[in-house]
């Protein structure tokens, strides 16, 4: 097994985002772009991870805690080019022997297969392997100069001759480098070029001249896609979603109308789940096999167990668990709520900070009044209870197993097992009152 270290370049704020937030923290599928890079690196088995940030990269540093606690931070100040950025990370690669993979923090869509192919080139004997791509619009990209199909060097667009600018095979920026090659040639890179920067791409020519094998792999244009502004951010999101939909369907999930369904980076869905039109998944959703989510539902931080269903128009929020065969219907919102096996909450209901026992029926319009403006309180309902329609459960409150609450009740005190609790005005009836009332107002 090849030992891998990964350096993610993320210096620079990305001014074209027009944002208070550093570019690499803008999200694709609810995960910062940088997070996608780190996850990819870990999935490849990277043992060391180093993120190069610039001056003022404090937000990135803070975010890293949550993205990958094991990642190290290197500071490059001022930014003097991609080779200089990698140099900033070199102290963290002290003593490392293996393959160093360089990624860009604003290029979040790389696939594992392609990166494995790149590392495979090193395993097959190359000292350095570049991820290239073909494009009709090579414009600003570095060009891969080849002879007889083998890589010679990379020339940056600004330094290229007119002939070299005709080349459509471009540099994505991703590079896998054997650590000894990196150690030997990185210090030799100078800034004698159009931009006056230290180009990491110069490593290619230097290593080649010294006799090291150079390789390149062609990646798809949409996996090497880099984000510089919000238009490109939206394009990257589109690519991400298209891929997620494809992967879901291949994995045995039925998507009623794939283009209308949106996933998060960590959405987990089991086989034979049915997802209706217009369903949106926020982060942290897990559906076991055989779950149905009906159209126009929104889920985040929710777990649905086998045979459960939600929607249409359901909103499952953070901390929701629907156990086997539980069903929530239209306009039902849940938060920090566990609904036991077979629980039904069919219509117009809010269940927050609630625990509902198996087999219980929650009538239409039921609300757990969990918040008094200061604190949040729990509602606990036992098994096989029957909560009448329009019950207000003023938490903290407990309804015992098998108990029934009368429709329209405001329940402020705990209800014993198998009891009936009713709290509402008694019905009174006055014969002919309505007719007399109308007559008084001039109606016959």
DSSP 130-150: EEEEE-S--TTS-EEEEETTE
Smallest gap from residue 225 Cβ to ligand UD1 (A):
10
Among 4, 6, 7, 11, which residue interacts with ligand UD1 (rule: CB under 6 A)?
A: 11
- CA-CA distance, 154 to 339, in Å (whole number)? 59
Contact 384, 401 (CB under 8 A): yes
Distance of alpha carbon 171 from alpha carbon 169, whole angstroms: 7
Q: Which two tokens stand for residue 176?
A: 């896998």
87, 114, 201, 330: which one contacts ligand UD1 (CB under 6 A)? 201
The one among 141, 225, 240, 350 contacting ligand UD1 by CB under 6 A: 141
Q: Is 82 one of the binding residues for ligand UD1 (CB under 6 A)? A: yes
| Whether residue 298 lies in the annotated active site | no
Q: Of the listed pieces 30-38, 55-63, 99-107, 252-260, which binds ligand UD1 according to CB under 6 A?
A: 99-107
- Which of 6, 7, 9, 236 binds ligand UD1 (CB under 6 A)? It is 9
Q: What are phi and psi of 35, to 5 degrees?
A: -60, -40
- Residue 369 DSSP class: E
Cβ distance to ligand UD1 smaller for residue 25 or 200: 200
Residues 326-345 interacting with ligand UD1 (rule: CB under 6 A): none
User: Quick one: which of 79, 312, 319, 396 contacts ligand UD1 (CB under 6 A)?
Assistant: 79
12 binds ligand UD1 (CB under 6 A): yes
Q: Is 199 in the site for ligand UD1 (CB under 6 A)?
A: yes
Inter-CA distances, 283 with 97, 158, 313, Å: 36, 42, 18
Mark out the alpha helices in 272-368 (DSSP H runs). Answer: none
| Contact status, residue 252 vs residue 271, Cβ threshold 8 Å | yes
How many residues contact ligand UD1, by CB under 6 A? 27
Beta bridge partners of 4: 99
Site for ligand UD1 in 225-254 (CB under 6 A): 226
d(Cα 288, Cα 308) in Å, to the nearest integer?
9
* Structure-token match 């979040």, residue found: 108
Q: Which of 76, 114, 379, 389 binds ligand UD1 (CB under 6 A)?
A: 76
Which span (197-205, 209-217, 328-336, 430-438) binds ligand UD1, by CB under 6 A? Answer: 197-205
Least distance from C-beta 83 to ligand UD1, angstroms?
Answer: 7
Q: Which is nearer to ligand UD1, 104 or 350 (CB)?
A: 104
Q: Which of 26, 30, 347, 441 is catalytic?
A: 347
Q: Does 220 bind ligand UD1 (CB under 6 A)?
A: no
Q: Determine if 223 is a binding residue for ligand UD1 (CB under 6 A).
A: no
Q: 52, 89, 287, 403: which one contacts ligand UD1 (CB under 6 A)?
A: 52
Strand, helix or coil for residue 416: coil
Quick check: 105 binds ligand UD1 (CB under 6 A)?
yes
Inter-residue contact 129 to 215 (CB < 8 Å): yes
Cβ distance to ligand UD1 smaller for residue 218 or 378: 218
Written as one string, the DSSP assignment of 159-213 is G--HHHHT--EEEEEEEEEEHHHHHHHGGG----STT----TTHHHHHHHHTT--
List residues bridging with 330 in a β-sheet: 347
With a CB cutoff of 8 Å and minimum separation 6, the contacts of 57 are: 10, 11, 22, 73, 75
**Candidate residues 127, 173, 205, 290; the one interacting with ligand UD1 per rule CB under 6 A:** 173
Choose which of 156, 223, 288, 325 interacts with ligand UD1 (CB under 6 A): 156
Q: Which stretch binds ligand UD1 (CB under 6 A): 73-81, 275-283, 407-415, 429-437?
A: 73-81
Q: How far is the CB of 112 from ligand UD1 (least distance, A)?
A: 20
In the complex, what is the shortest distance from the CB of residue 251 to ligand UD1, in angstroms, rounded to a whole number? 32
Q: Which is nearer to ligand UD1, 87 or 309 (CB)?
A: 87
Q: What is the DSSP letter of 142?
A: -
Residue 223: strand, helix, or coil:
coil
CA geometry: angle at 45 spanning 150 and 7, to 5°?
A: 65
Give the residues lining the site for ligand UD1 (CB under 6 A).
9-12, 52, 76, 79-82, 84-85, 104-106, 141-142, 154, 156, 170-173, 199-201, 226
The set of catalytic residues is 347
């Amino acid at each position: 097994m090849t030992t891998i270290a990964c350096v993610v370049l993320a210096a620079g704020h990305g001014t074209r985002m027009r944002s208070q937030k550093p570019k690499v923290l803008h999200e694709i599928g609810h995960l910062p772009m940088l997070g996608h890079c780190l996850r990819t690196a870990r999935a490849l088995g990277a043992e060391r991870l180093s993120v190069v940030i610039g001056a003022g990269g404090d937000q990135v540093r803070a975010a890293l805690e949550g993205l990958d606690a094991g990642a190290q931070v290197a500071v490059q100040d001022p930014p003097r080019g991609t080779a200089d950025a990698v140099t900033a990370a070199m102290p963290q690669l002290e003593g490392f022997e293996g393959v160093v993979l360089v990624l860009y923090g604003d290029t979040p869509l790389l696939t594992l297969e392609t990166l494995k192919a790149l590392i495979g080139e090193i395993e097959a004997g190359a000292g350095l392997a570049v991820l290239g791509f073909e494009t009709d619009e090579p414009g600003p990209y570095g060009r891969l100069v080849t002879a007889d199909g083998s890589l010679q060097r990379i020339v940056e667009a600004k330094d290229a001759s007119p002939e070299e600018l005709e080349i459509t095979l471009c540099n994505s920026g991703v590079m896998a480098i054997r650590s000894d090659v990196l150690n030997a040639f990185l210090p030799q890179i100078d800034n004698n070029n159009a931009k006056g920067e230290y180009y990491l791409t110069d490593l290619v020519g230097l290593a080649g001249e010294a006799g090291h094998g150079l390789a390149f792999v062609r990646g798809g244009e949409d996996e090497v896609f880099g984000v510089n502004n919000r238009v490109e951010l939206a394009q990257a999101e589109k690519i991400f979603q298209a891929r997620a939909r494809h992967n879901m369907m291949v994995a045995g999930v039925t998507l009623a109308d794939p283009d209308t369904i949106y996933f998060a980076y960590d959405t987990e869905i089991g086989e034979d789940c049915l997802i209706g039109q217009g369903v949106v998944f926020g982060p942290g959703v897990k559906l076991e096999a055989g779950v149905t989510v009906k159209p126009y539902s929104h889920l985040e931080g929710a777990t649905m167990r086998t045979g459960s269903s939600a929607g249409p128009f359901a909103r499952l929020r953070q901390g929701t668990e629907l156990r086997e065969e539980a069903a929530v219907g239209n306009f039902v919102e849940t938060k920090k709520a566990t609904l036991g096996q077979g629980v039904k909450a069919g219509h117009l209901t809010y269940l927050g900070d609630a625990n509902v026992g198996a087999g219980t029926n929650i009538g239409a319009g039921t609300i757990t009044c969990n918040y008094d403006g200061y604190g949040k309180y729990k509602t606990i309902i036992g098994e096989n209870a029957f909560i009448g329609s329009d019950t207000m459960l003023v938490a903290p409150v407990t309804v015992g197993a098998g108990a029934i609450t009368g429709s329209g009740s405001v329940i402020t005190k705990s209800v014993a097992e198998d009891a009936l609790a009713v709290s509402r005005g008694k019905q009174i009836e006055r014969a002919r009152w309505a007719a007399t009332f109308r007559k008084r107002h001039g109606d016959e």
